[in-house]
Each structure stands twice: as structure tokens, then as C-alpha cells.
């Protein structure tokens, strides 16, 4: 039996850089926390003081990460300003 041996670089000449932001989310399909790039975000919705981040996991499962600013100590919930009315 002959085993070929070569010392090739682990990264090709067109290495994809992951210099963008990343976040962790729980994937129900995989049953564990996964690390995703921001490219996996499909939409962001602001609803009643909460931010919903819709994402697609590497496995294809679609999920929602909910961040409630009011749940964090020291966070302030900001409401949109009402239009100014002249007196």
C-alpha cells in the first residue's frame, strides 16, 4: 500500500476572510448553540421594545433571536419621538 504524502497549505490562494461580525444563537434543529456570521441574518424587526433577529443556520434551519432591551440592567427602552405639534 502506497500513501502519497504532500505538504499543501491548509488555505488556498483565495482564502475567504471572516472579518465581519458574528453572533451566537440556539439552533433547535441541531439542539445546540451555533456561531453565525452576520451574513446569516435574513431580517431584523423592532417590535415593542424588542429586537427580533431572523437568521438561517448553517444547517438550513430558520430561527429567531429576540433581544429585549428592557431585560438588560442599565438598558433604556427608547420609543420613537412623536411629531412636534405647534401650540
Q: What is the pLDDT of residues 39-62, one digit of tens each?
A: 999 999 988 878 899 999 999 999
Average pLDDT over residues 65-85: 58
Instruction: For residue 80, give the nearest of 38, 34, 49, 41 by alpha carbon.
Output: 49
CA distance 67 to 28: 17
- pLDDT class of 20 with cuts at 50, 70, 90: confident
Sheet holding 62-68, edge to edge: 41-47, 50-56, 62-68
Kindly list the domain boundaries of the chain, sorted by start residue: 42-75
pLDDT at 83: 53
Amino acid at each position: 500500500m502506497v500513501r502519497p504524502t504532500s505538504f499543501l497549505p491548509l488555505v488556498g490562494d483565495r482564502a475567504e476572510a471572516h472579518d465581519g461580525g458574528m453572533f451566537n444563537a440556539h439552533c433547535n434543529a441541531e439542539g445546540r448553540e451555533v456561531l453565525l456570521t452576520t451574513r446569516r441574518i435574513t431580517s431584523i424587526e423592532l417590535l415593542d421594545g424588542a429586537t427580533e433577529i431572523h437568521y438561517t443556520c448553517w444547517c438550513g434551519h430558520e430561527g429567531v433571536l429576540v433581544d429585549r432591551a428592557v431585560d438588560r440592567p442599565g438598558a433604556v427602552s427608547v420609543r420613537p419621538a412623536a411629531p412636534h405639534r405647534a401650540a
